[in-house]
Amino acid sequence: MDTHRLRNLHRPDVLRARLERESASRTTLSFYRYVRLKDVEALRHELYSEWESLGVLGRIYLSQEGINAQVSLPTENLEAFRTNLDRRDPFCDVPWKIAVEDDGKSFLKLAIKVKKKIVADGLADDAFDVTNVGAHLDAKTFNQKVEEGALVIDMRNNYESAIGFFEGAYLPKADTFRGAIEEVTEVMREKKNAEVLLYCTGGIRCEKASAYLKHEGFTNVGQLHGGIIDYARQIKALGLPSKYKGQNFVFDERLAERITDDVVSACMQCGTPSDRITNCHEATCNMLLVQCEACAQKYADCCSPSCREIHLLPFDLQRAWRKGRSTRSTKTKAINDTEGLRKRIREEEELLALNGSLHPELSDVTFKVIPAS
Ligand SMILES: [Zn+2]
Ligand SMILES: [Zn+2]
């Protein structure tokens, strides 16, 4: 098989334009399964060519331990996709979760990646029994147990829980899965016999987190089956009250889907209530932040005046400035320190008023010789 063809070769703007032109409606869905997979590379190529022909876009991780998939596809091909999954034993009857709020623009391309693990959890799997997971709870049972006083723990990163969470849940400050699980083990160490309920976006992280907590001596661990995504579907279908408030952070172009109208967060730049999550549009920064519409205008969709200054340059100059600079910080994806950000903005605005620029390097001769476009 010519495997070179089995990957996307187009630029994001080309892909976005193609998606905009598409008239058929798309459905966004996700699924995962821990299951032994053999010959993962070959399977990856088979899936790519089959799913590409069904118009599937999205991000799929394959490993010897299973599959973790977030995809969108033309709604008319849903049945064919179901058949395609069921045709293979390891994926037969795998439950999928359909996104509640969906403009069909969740993914731009199809990417199927072979990985060591289907979730980058940073845990040593051989150190505990990963199959000894917590009880799977549906939305109704989860709600009941919350009312009965169970401890609720959010297993997501801080930037995910910033814009939505279960009322009263413990929200870890960590911005990695491993950090969150260690924090929870430490903070809850006196409560190992209490009933604890875990939740995450789609349920997959709780499979590992519940097994880990049980290994650490927690005796009564439950987990929200299908995560927030399926909770939203269930409460809608059954007319149950939502104990989850605000938006659900998702890992695709949408960034979030609204579960309730509650706004649980504030603009990180000005402090007014907002749960509009976005990335800084300066490409080398790209940090996630909560930003209100007014601040988006004021800072040209950027996190700070210094990013704004670059983002507003003619495209050629931006490109010249970026040359040799690494894209985005590898340490963290989101701005965590709101106070620090506001202080930085104040200082930068002052400097800008004084000097007319926050980037003295822009007056360098290399930038001046580039003809304006
Ligand atoms: Zn604002
Ligand atoms: Zn920025």
What's the structural domain count of the chain? Answer: 3
Interval 8-64: pLDDT, tens:
777 778 888 888 777 778 999 999 998 889 999 999 999 999 999 999 999 999 999
Domain boundary among 84, 114, 144: 114
Same structural domain, 305 and 219: no
Q: How far apart are CA 213 and CA 221, in angstroms?
A: 8
Domain boundary among 72, 91, 114: 114
Residue 341 lies in a domain: yes
Interval 92-119: pLDDT, tens:
999 999 887 777 788 999 999 999 888 8
Residue 256 lies in a domain: no
Lowest mean pLDDT among 204-208, 257-261, 361-365: 361-365
Same structural domain, 130 and 242: yes
Residue 258 lies in a domain: no
pTM: 0.82
Residue 230 CA, ligand 1 centroid: distance in Å: 31
Domain membership of residue 288 as a residue range:
277-368
Contact by Cβ (8 Å): 333, 255: no
Ligand closest to CA 345: 2
**Chain centroid to CA 50: how far?**
26
- Percent of the chain, pLDDT > 70? 95
Same structural domain, 107 and 157: no
Residue 284 CA, ligand 2 centroid: distance in Å: 8
Residue 288 CA, ligand 1 centroid: distance in Å: 14
Catalytic residue among 92, 200, 280, 307: 200
What was the pLDDT predicted at 167? 94
Q: How far apart are CA 186 and CA 135, in angstroms?
A: 22
Query: Does residue 373 surpass a pLDDT of 50?
Result: no
**Could you tell me the CATH number of the domain that includes residue 225?**
3.40.250.10
Residue 264 lies in a domain: no
Q: How far apart are CA 193 and CA 239, in angstroms?
A: 32
Same structural domain, 90 and 132: no
Residue 294 CA, ligand 1 centroid: distance in Å: 6
Same structural domain, 222 and 281: no
- 3-class SS of residue 125: helix
Instruction: Please give the backbone phi and psi of residue 163, each rounded to the nearest 5 degrees, phi first.
Output: -110, 5
Q: How far apart are CA 326 and CA 323, in angstroms?
A: 8
277 has which bridge partners? 290
What was the pLDDT predicted at 7? 76
Interval 229-246: pLDDT, tens:
999 999 999 999 999 999
Instruction: Enter the tokens of residue 202.
Output: 């789609």
Same structural domain, 36 and 108: yes
Q: How far apart are CA 316 and CA 192, in angstroms?
A: 58
Is 307 a known active-site residue?
A: no
- 3-class SS of residue 314: coil
Ligand closest to CA 265: 1
Interval 236-287: pLDDT, tens:
999 999 999 999 999 888 899 999 999 999 999 999 999 999 999 998 999 9
Higher-confidence residue: 209 or 364? Answer: 209
Same structural domain, 227 and 166: yes
Same structural domain, 110 and 131: no
Under DSSP, the state recorded for 94 is -
What was the pLDDT predicted at 272? 97
The rounded mean pLDDT for the chain is 91
Residue 268 CA, ligand 1 centroid: distance in Å: 7
Ligand closest to CA 304: 2
Ligand closest to CA 288: 2
Contact by Cβ (8 Å): 198, 206: yes
What was the pLDDT predicted at 253? 85
Residue 259 CA, ligand 1 centroid: distance in Å: 22
Same structural domain, 47 and 140: no
Residue 265 lies in a domain: no
Same structural domain, 94 and 149: no
Residue 222 lies in a domain: yes
Same structural domain, 141 and 238: yes
For residue 322, the one-letter residue type is R
Query: Binning pLDDT at 50, 70 and 90, where does residue 323 land?
Result: confident
With the C-alpha atoms ordered 45, 15, 68, 23, is the resulting torsion angle positive or negative? negative
Residue 287 CA, ligand 2 centroid: distance in Å: 6
Same structural domain, 149 and 77: no
- Percent of the chain, pLDDT > 90? 72
Residue 315 lies in a domain: yes
Residue 14 lies in a domain: yes
